[in-house]
Structure 1
């Protein structure tokens, strides 16, 4: 019975890790019912020694009936043979579940289809685990199906798995291994509890099985503790969320995925590099520089911007034009341009997304590249853009100020996706969005007012010497410091736009770069983030809240449709001079480099490479060292607190023993109470002496009487006369407490104990004294005894057996 129960418990413990994937907990109770059903059948199979194949078959049949009973209204014929209606009734929600999983992002709603799919998977895992552990007696192999179940949330969600969830799952697996080991031992007879006690009380166990069992438990618990505690003590880089991009036929089949680093972290790393290497070069038929977008982040959870995308096989760029730009009216005037891009083959890491001007209408490139229809990001799960040359045709809208002002509200689908904000967004940020814009203004006018707030009116400054991009950093940037770089400017404007009801997202890529002899060169310091705002009929338009020129992002430019001097111009890029490459901005472009390079050198120096978004690495190392030091001081602090508590006990009992003041004994029992307190004081003083001997590495034999111990200490460590007298008085008080009716006079006990401690400290080396203060062995020994008691408790639980009624064995 032990193995079936342990198998079910292990499966249930690992299934808890699926909680972050779902909204609500109804799915878990449905899965728990399957686990209990599988476990119950396994227990019956073990009780009646049924063949393994029969038990597994019964579990599969039970799983089938359970799913039919819970998730469909159809019945099988005579409750045994499935009918066509029952098969269809079960297949429909399964197909719906597959489609919903492809459509939703975690946490997904626990609807019927998704819950049915989850319960089927958990039930099959439970059957496999039970088959390996209970039937085939291969408990170690159960780690494979359990790991497969555990890795599902790790591969889907971007947040780390909760440490408590990991502990529960690991304990479930360890419990299954322990149950398997106990089951093997009991085949040779009833297991005897091994009492782990100190060597001076009882001899060490000689049973090899007991020793191995103890070592296995210690290794298991130590591994779990190290897996949880060690990473928390080490300085870490910001984790890379997993972005899964389904690449299939749009019907939930044949999907693959790619994993990319966090775009925000990549952006900061590119801007902070001391070197400024070339990322790509490009030429364009009108010689107008264009922003080249890599990623489009559409989800803001209050801490960071992330993205979702999906590619379809029928949308391959090699098979035809790109999907139409969302929201762009076909009657809107556009500017067609052809850009030829050459990506450097010296860039670090694979480039799985294409840098593209927006919106691209056709791409000529080798390989399997697919766009996301909603954002027009183009990516591949098989190829990389490193070293590739490709040609992009764009159809850039030419909106007028009047058309943007008169743009109707966006569709409900756009608003639902691009207006979402976390419920815990600070109220001050919502109020700020309304304070810096006019209530009666159009969405376009409010967008211009937001851009001017960041670039002119709000007192913002550009600096790379800022940390973080989470909710706290956003609040600090908008309300307090107002200092940051493009990430903070873009993310903040997108949030404020959503507050005002303007659909917004954050784009990450590169600015237009610098012109060298008619060819535009984009380098790592041209990495940039900017907001994109949606206007019905025109589609997505970029805005530029980041300061430009020498005081900001050197190669950034302000779109012409946001400039008051030319409100009707439609070019996305600034006006240009084909011979000089002038941008038409207030500050002319430098053809030989990015002005932000000098700004970078002034702010962070030429040799400093920040590697993360949060606290600097040196500070994290320092904080980690302080944390390790504090943890190391815990045993010493515990020992100091215990010693102080004992000192208060025996220092407050300096009164004479009962009856020594010449008064008659108190018939009410006050004398007995006083004697009891004095006994407690003597016991505390003796315990303190015992711990001091342990801390200084001095042994105390269990057979020694207090008087014999005092005599041996005086002779062995060369106590002077005062110290010898003091230890003798402490021993005499202990003997009176043990053998006399009252402890007698203990008035000098605190001074005697203090003198004895000094004599003991003088008899050992300085290193031993330091260890006695910082890492006292007596405290460590108590912690070890607590662990031993916990292991003893597990042994007792393993020895529990269900008693059979009398006469059943007859």
Structure 2
């Protein structure tokens, strides 16, 4: 019965490793109930002496009843007994839970399906552990299903397992092994433990029964081994360099507004956009620099679905191979070889005051990002997000390859069929027909999709008589119709969404981007504030990809820092007009037409030639081989600590002046020091000789006197006359200090000690001498003595408990 309880404890201790995978504690208490149900079934099996094969069946039945009561009590008979309806509901919840697991990543929300799936899985592990440990008496094999619990967070999460959780899980398994060993030995009689201490084991009290074996002493040995193994398992990895974890499961990965969830639950980016624009004073959101010193739109979200009222965002997916630290991001959708691209490197610094932002503001399209943390790119939109990190205070570099299309190029690409997801052209069935009629009327004279897009933008910025104003409300079809056909007053949200809807109405794939405009140049950096929050449409053209358009009025009558890209303007009528700027770039009211070369950062100019291929310049940080070298050097220094301690000790002993008396290595040296107040050199010489003998494998016997030791060394290793005289002089000085009333004058012993050490070194191999220098056994012996004293302290605590138990029984 003890093994059943120990199996349950071990299982639940291992289940604690799962805590980083979940939000909240619902899974914890539900899994605890499932484990208790299995333990109860195991106790009943032991009580009724049922065969081993019956235990798993009874445990499965108990788990089924428990899960029915916990999740489908309304469909069960008497809230406990499963019925057909409860079975169907459990199956449905399991299916929902499995779908949620595929859709979310750690930490997953506490949905009912996920909680059921977790509790059922932990119960199955508990059944397997109970079968192996309590029924088949193979407690060591029970570690395999427990290891399966540890493998789940180890393979899914990028971070290592928490060491407190690991210690709890390891202690649970050790307790299972100790319980199994205690029950096995208990059948053979009383266990006798050889202790290092001289304290006698407590005698049994009169009248106590000897039927059961006293295995308390044996448990001490098991605890020592278990505790030592756990300590090594925690400390050794902490001393090793960190390695990148490998994920074997590519479940859906999302981010949350808080950076701690797993599903992408943005608290309505549209509402946040208007809230930032309505702030009474602007606050700095971020600053950035780039190698061409031009402002750029920084996109955060890409909204791709339209439900008739407002645009929404499909939950992004980021697999482990799309992490930013794995190299270049996925290629921009639709960008072909025909378009010329401009390669730019931008350094972005996010303000510390930004809260709950788990997406990175980026110029589009990003090709490579250098950023700390677990950040991943969505393949379809190239949004970069994290499920566990936040952008506040973050600094990162992003390399972009921005297309530089011309009107002629976009016209020439008109025949290419867009290869994009149908959701980018989907409109609701209840869209007012007046809106589709308006789109068709505005683009009636357009011969290409590009011309149609330009006419739509011109309708909002020039021809339609629109006015920029934040005092607008509504997202319904009627609000969209009123904005386009009657009021024509709104801010960037209405302009961007309306142009995207009209573009879809004429067959152009579109989406709405939310982020920031290029900001204002302050000093040597571009500064982006809350007043630069913005929304704009992105339209898709096969061969170039997604291009930003700007239907929101700019200047003093609109969003101050919003600027339409040059390729969306009417064709130039003369060759003297300005050259086309980078698509997506914006200019601010503070951006004066200065020579770009005079404003570039010299550091960026030096690196400009390195980014011609669209990637980031080489990392200025230390290369991997350097980090490995530092790690190896640190490990070597740690290994040389015993050698350093030995060297310091020896130099302190043999110094001519300032010899210390507090270096005796055993009882004999201690007695000698107590009687050698005028001769501390004798104590130091004897302690050093004792350590030299131990390092060379010639340890002095406890019963040997100094004279006997000198005689044995001289005869056994055939010392020459000088070496024999030196060891005899040391032994004689030690005996005089120990036993003579007046030891008389004792000369310096430094030369004698060096002569003896050289003679001893000549009798051992080179490997033994090298070990004596690099890994001296005498120093390791002292460390071992310290460890033994610590274990003796544990023994003392155990003996206190044993004596209290014995006294209680005697009373």
Relative to the length of structure 1, the TM-score reads: 0.50
Structure 1: tracts of 5 or more residues without a match: 198-213, 272-277, 312-334, 343-353, 363-391, 413-440, 461-477, 479-492, 513-518, 523-529, 539-560, 588-595, 655-672, 806-810
Q: What SS is found at the alignment partner of 1:282? A: coil
Tell me if structure 1 keeps the 8 A contact 2:727–2:752: no
Distance 1:725-1:288 versus aligned 2 partners, 3 A rule = closer
1:767: how far off? 6.5
Tell me if structure 2 keeps the 8 A contact 1:41–1:59: yes
2:632 corresponds in structure 1 to 625
Instruction: Confirm or deny that 1:732 pairs with 2:735.
Output: yes
**For the residues of structure 2 that align with 1:218 and 1:393, how far apart are their CA atoms?**
78
Give a deviation string over 1:23-82, Cα, whole Å, max 9, x none.
344643443344345335435534653222443344334434544666677596568634
Correspondent of 1:635 among 619, 642, 646? 642
Tell me if structure 1 keeps the 8 A contact 2:706–2:732: no
Q: What SS is found at the alignment partner of 2:761? A: coil
1:190: how far off? 6.7
**For the residues of structure 2 that align with 1:394 and 1:224, how far apart are their CA atoms?**
70
1:233 corresponds in structure 2 to 240
1:91: how far off? 7.6
**For the residues of structure 2 that align with 1:448 and 1:113, how far apart are their CA atoms?**
35
How does 1:585-596 map onto structure 2 within 5 Å? 585=581
Distance 1:450-1:503 versus aligned 2 partners, 3 A rule = closer
How does 1:22-171 map onto structure 2 within 5 Å? 22-25=22-25, 27-39=27-39, 41-43=41-43, 45-46=45-46, 49-67=49-67, 81-82=81-82, 101=101, 105-110=105-110, 114-139=114-139, 141-163=141-163, 165-166=165-166, 168-169=168-169
Give a deviation string over 1:447-499, Cα, whole Å, max 9, x none.
9996255xx64526xxxxxxxxxxxxxxxxx9xxxxxxxxxxxxxx9xx66x7
**For the residues of structure 1 that align with 2:651 and 2:467, how far apart are their CA atoms?**
76
**For the residues of structure 2 that align with 1:73 and 1:747, how far apart are their CA atoms?**
96
**For the residues of structure 2 that align with 1:410 and 1:713, how far apart are their CA atoms?**
101
2:336 corresponds in structure 1 to 282
Instruction: Confirm or deny that 1:17 pairs with 2:13.
Output: no
**For the residues of structure 1 that align with 2:101 and 2:731, how far apart are their CA atoms?**
79
Instruction: Confirm or deny that 1:264 pairs with 2:324.
Output: yes
Tell me if structure 2 keeps the 8 A contact 1:235–1:617: no
Q: Which has the larger radius of gyration?
A: 2
Instruction: Confirm or deny that 1:763 pairs with 2:760.
Output: yes
Distance 1:676-1:597 versus aligned 2 partners, 3 A rule = closer
Correspondent of 2:373 among 304, 321, 324? 304
Distance 1:393-1:28 versus aligned 2 partners, 3 A rule = farther
Distance 1:239-1:747 versus aligned 2 partners, 3 A rule = farther
1:157: how far off? 2.9
1:679: how far off? 13
**For the residues of structure 1 that align with 2:235 and 2:467, how far apart are their CA atoms?**
54
Give a deviation string over 1:102-136, Cα, whole Å, max 9, x none.
66543234466644443232122211221233223
Tell me if structure 2 keeps the 8 A contact 1:706–1:734: no
1:584 corresponds in structure 2 to 580
Tell me if structure 2 keeps the 8 A contact 1:650–1:682: no
Tell me if structure 2 keeps the 8 A contact 1:243–1:260: yes
1:623: how far off? 1.1
Q: What SS is found at the alignment partner of 1:299? A: coil
**For the residues of structure 1 that align with 2:786 and 2:323, how far apart are their CA atoms?**
48
1:764: how far off? 1.1
Q: What SS is found at the alignment partner of 2:336? A: strand
Distance 1:639-1:633 versus aligned 2 partners, 3 A rule = same
Distance 1:16-1:92 versus aligned 2 partners, 3 A rule = same
Distance 1:55-1:759 versus aligned 2 partners, 3 A rule = same
Distance 1:356-1:597 versus aligned 2 partners, 3 A rule = farther
1:605: how far off? 13
Distance 1:634-1:767 versus aligned 2 partners, 3 A rule = same
Tell me if structure 2 keeps the 8 A contact 1:11–1:129: yes
How does 1:309-458 map onto structure 2 within 5 Å? 361=425, 398=457, 406=469, 451=518, 453=520, 457-458=522-523
Correspondent of 2:660 among 641, 646, 651? 651
1:18: how far off? 0.7
Tell me if structure 2 keeps the 8 A contact 1:185–1:191: yes
Distance 1:764-1:693 versus aligned 2 partners, 3 A rule = same
1:774: how far off? 2.9
Tell me if structure 2 keeps the 8 A contact 1:4–1:43: yes
Q: What SS is found at the alignment partner of 2:321? A: coil
Give a deviation string over 1:636-682, Cα, whole Å, max 9, x none.
2444576689999983589xxxxxxxxxxxxxxxxxx9879999999
2:700 corresponds in structure 1 to 700
Tell me if structure 2 keeps the 8 A contact 1:635–1:779: yes
How many residues are treated as equivalent by the alignment?
567
Tell me if structure 1 keeps the 8 A contact 2:76–2:86: yes
Distance 1:617-1:393 versus aligned 2 partners, 3 A rule = farther
**For the residues of structure 1 that align with 2:70 and 2:725, how far apart are their CA atoms?**
84
Tell me if structure 2 keeps the 8 A contact 1:338–1:393: no
Distance 1:310-1:262 versus aligned 2 partners, 3 A rule = closer
1:632: how far off? 1.4
1:261: how far off? 2.0
Alignment RMSD (CA, Å): 7.1
Distance 1:450-1:393 versus aligned 2 partners, 3 A rule = closer
**For the residues of structure 2 that align with 1:680 and 1:760, how far apart are their CA atoms?**
19
**For the residues of structure 2 that align with 1:305 and 1:574, how far apart are their CA atoms?**
43
**For the residues of structure 2 that align with 1:700 and 1:128, how far apart are their CA atoms?**
54
**For the residues of structure 2 that align with 1:25 and 1:649, how far apart are their CA atoms?**
64
Distance 1:772-1:339 versus aligned 2 partners, 3 A rule = farther
Tell me if structure 1 keeps the 8 A contact 2:11–2:35: yes
2:480 corresponds in structure 1 to none
**For the residues of structure 1 that align with 2:246 and 2:474, how far apart are their CA atoms?**
35
**For the residues of structure 2 that align with 1:573 and 1:404, how far apart are their CA atoms?**
20
Distance 1:310-1:451 versus aligned 2 partners, 3 A rule = closer
**For the residues of structure 2 that align with 1:685 and 1:246, how far apart are their CA atoms?**
68
Distance 1:684-1:707 versus aligned 2 partners, 3 A rule = same
1:149: how far off? 2.3
**For the residues of structure 2 that align with 1:574 and 1:770, how far apart are their CA atoms?**
83
Distance 1:310-1:151 versus aligned 2 partners, 3 A rule = farther
